A and B are shown apart, each in its own frame.
Chain A
Amino acid sequence: MATKIHRDIPVGAVLLIFSTIALYFARGIKGEAKVVPMALTILMIVCALVIIFNGIRATNTCHGEYDYKMKLGEGRNAFIFMGFIIIYYLAFRYISYWIATPLFMVFAQKHLKVKSWKVNLAITVIYTVFCYIMFVVVLKLPIYKIGILGKYFRFT
């Protein structure tokens, strides 16, 4: 059976590709301004190679039994929640913070298993009112400029 490779090998390979692309763009910078970015990207390439080398060494010594503290494959929940955050961001940007936030709070809490609707709604209302007072009334933040419904939440 083929030995499973240590994850530092593919990770190092991705970093190597990233650093090489960054070096390509750094070369395109005009004049002296390119010196530091180029030096940094070259050093990043060296580090990526060291990471790959360490991965190969770990593959040879551990024979497929690795003790990872966290695994990417187990992060499905985190990525689903990141999806929630991205939808929230889009709603914040294109609708309004004061519409997006209560909806996000309610659905996120439900997703994260807050069973009581009363608690869920109470927290959502308290947070939204607190933030409105803090950011709109006190700090006069121009959040009303964001989103098509933002103007309806302007404090005069």
Chain B
Amino acid sequence: MMGQLGAALAYFASLEVLIGLAIGVIGGMIIGIIPGLGPSVGIALLIPISFSMSPTAALVMMTAMYTTGVYGGSITAVLCHTPGTAASAATTMDGYELTKQGRGMEAITVVTVASVFGGIVGAVCLILFAPMLGKISLMFSCLEYFLVACFGILVVSGLTGENRAKGIFSALLGLLIGCVGMDKISGVPRFTFGQLWLEDGLDSTPILIGLFSISQVLILVDNLLSGRGSTIVDDPAAGLQGKRWEKGNTGLLAPTMVRSSIVGAFIGFIPAAGCSIAAWISYSIAKRTSRHPEEYGHGSLVGIAASEAANNAACGGAMIPLFTLGIPGSPVTAILYGALLMHGLQPGSGLFTGEKAVMTYAIFLGFLFANVLMGIIGVTMAKQMARICLVPNSVLVPIIVALACIGTYALSNSMEEVVIMLVFGVLGYLMKVLGFEPAPLVLGVVLADILEANFRRALIMAIPKGGLWNYFLTRPVSMIIVAIIVIFALVPVLKRFFIKTEES
């Protein structure tokens, strides 16, 4: 493999590949920043451009856009409470709080470093373990997908805020919203009220933009017109005075970044799980294992490092089943799958043998270099990006609204999506005023489909095995996931027990 990696490096002497890499990185960051336009839209737009390019240059450009698109979405999540993609929603909770405290530059730097670290871990997994992990991903089926979604649901318990009943209600509402549309198993319409545009269900992105971005805009307007703040940052004079990287940050964040990257890469390679679930689960693990869980949601650097390392590591992980088995687990990887076929690359073992192996490793190396380049640009631009928090709200608010509207329209060229975004904007505002957390609702929407459809598929698959329990006993991976879920659920109990023992 080392020989093939060495040969793959030679591809980067080509100007076409380097230009592709630069376009992918910069384009991904811009696309990610615009609410609604995630990496899937960006990569789809690159397909016609890549027709005349060599397969390596085209795929390097697209995979670079994948990872940097996820990162770009986190920049606006931190600075404007506007996550560009669902994968950045977890970062919003602490990142925006840091910006308000005048630590936007530090938050952006932590987001960048964690994203780069996670991206590199994902790329290393892709380069070193792709064929092996690809085989493992075949051991996952409906029951395992369902259990992973259950793990995600468990995360809700850490996001409910002060009032647990309200948090759980939010999550249930999210799951119910996820049920809207045609039932995936039987094809029966649910809560569509005869509206054709509802039959495909509600996309999570307009909901996300409404709940986070529009609701925050309304709060900013409220604060501005009632004289409680004219900029996002509480003290504009101290807005950019903080350091990029405090001395103790490396020691503080390194263990979380390592753990979250591994968790992210692992969740990423499970088809259908994706970057957003990876980010939420890592955030929740970090909170549960922290000595100061009360800091989460109030500007915790560890919190943003956890979600950011995980969502970028998941990008690398998601490409493992794609390249090794031809299984696209998300809309982004489905588009990449189409791009691979378009350039004559048939996913499978053929990509890891002979001449094509060199090309494949060149694409993986491109993904690795994209993360490095993204880090260099991100750290260099951190101060300039953090200046957004000094822009008066009177200017920022109309820009966010106009951008959110056109970005949401661009998602599927549909004005109905804009209506959904606005409805959820008002709902998000009401939720914040009345003490409900919007995060469990978003997580509910994201998980609903994976949870229900896979559970029902598992029930169908369990019939020849004599029922769900017998089927479960034949699936070692399911047992491992259940064991992890039980350990995860017991962490707070065990932690409390150890603290009490220490105190006594």
Contact = CB atoms under 8 A, between A and B. Distances in A.
A112 B229 CA distance: 12
A118 interface: no
A15 B435 CA distance: 14
Nearest to B34: A134
A32 B176 contact: no
Given A37-B191, A78-B218, A32 B186 contact: yes
B176 A44 contact: yes
B169 A143 contact: no
Interface string B371-386: 0000000000000000
Contacts of A146: 409, 415
Contacts of A77: 221-222, 224-226
A101 B405 CA distance: 10
B457 interface: no
Interface in B125-184: 163, 165-166, 168-169, 172-173, 175-176, 179, 183
Contact of A54 (B165, B399, B419, B432): B165
Interface string A49-64: 0110010000000000
Contacts of B425: 82, 85
Contacts of B394: 109, 112-114
B226 A89 contact: no
A50 B224 contact: no
A127 B225 CA distance: 23
Interface string A82-111: 100110110011000100010011001100
A85 B190 CA distance: 30
Contacts of A140: 45
Contacts of A54: 163, 165
Q: How large is the interface on A (under 10, 10 to 19, 20 to 34, 35 or more residues)?
A: 35 or more
Interface in B380-409: 392-395, 397-399, 401-403, 405-406, 409
Contact of B418 (A11, A25, A89): A89
B214 interface: yes
B418 A33 contact: no
A13 interface: no
Nearest to B432: A70
B433 A33 contact: no
A108 B397 contact: yes
A81 B172 contact: no
A12 to B, nearest CB: 9
Given A78-B429, A131-B406, A109 B434 contact: no
Contacts of A50: 165
Contacts of A36: 175, 179, 452
Contact of B405 (A11, A26, A44, A89): A89
A8 B434 CA distance: 8
Contacts of B226: 74, 77
Contact of A141 (B221, B395, B410): B410
Contacts of B221: 77-78, 81, 112
Given A47-B169, A72-B434, A78-B221, A30 B188 contact: yes
Given A37-B176, A89-B419, A131-B402, A78 B222 contact: yes
Most chain-A Cβ atoms within 10 A of its Cβ — which of B398, B399, B409?
Answer: B398
Interface in A138-156: 139-143, 145-146
B219 A78 contact: yes
B413 interface: yes
A155 B111 CA distance: 37
A82 B452 contact: no
Contacts of B165: 47, 50-51, 54
Contact of B415 (A81, A82, A93, A139): A93
A112 B179 CA distance: 39
Contact of A92 (B173, B186, B222, B405): B405
Given A78-B429, A114-B394, A143-B406, A51 B222 contact: no
Contacts of B430: 72
B422 interface: yes
Contacts of B185: 32-33
A113 B224 contact: yes
Interface of B: 34, 45, 163, 165-166, 168-169, 172-173, 175-176, 179, 183, 185-186, 188, 190-191, 214, 217-219, 221-222, 224-226, 392-395, 397-399, 401-403, 405-406, 409-410, 413, 415, 418-419, 422, 425-426, 429-430, 432-435, 452, 456
27 contacts: A22-B191, A32-B185, A32-B456, A37-B176, A40-B175, A47-B172, A50-B165, A68-B435, A70-B433, A74-B222, A74-B226, A75-B222, A75-B429, A75-B433, A77-B221, A82-B425, A85-B425, A92-B418, A97-B405, A104-B398, A105-B398, A112-B394, A113-B394, A123-B395, A127-B399, A139-B45, A142-B413
Given A37-B176, A112-B397, A143-B409, 8 more contacts: A26-B191, A36-B179, A43-B168, A69-B435, A77-B222, A113-B225, A114-B392, A146-B415
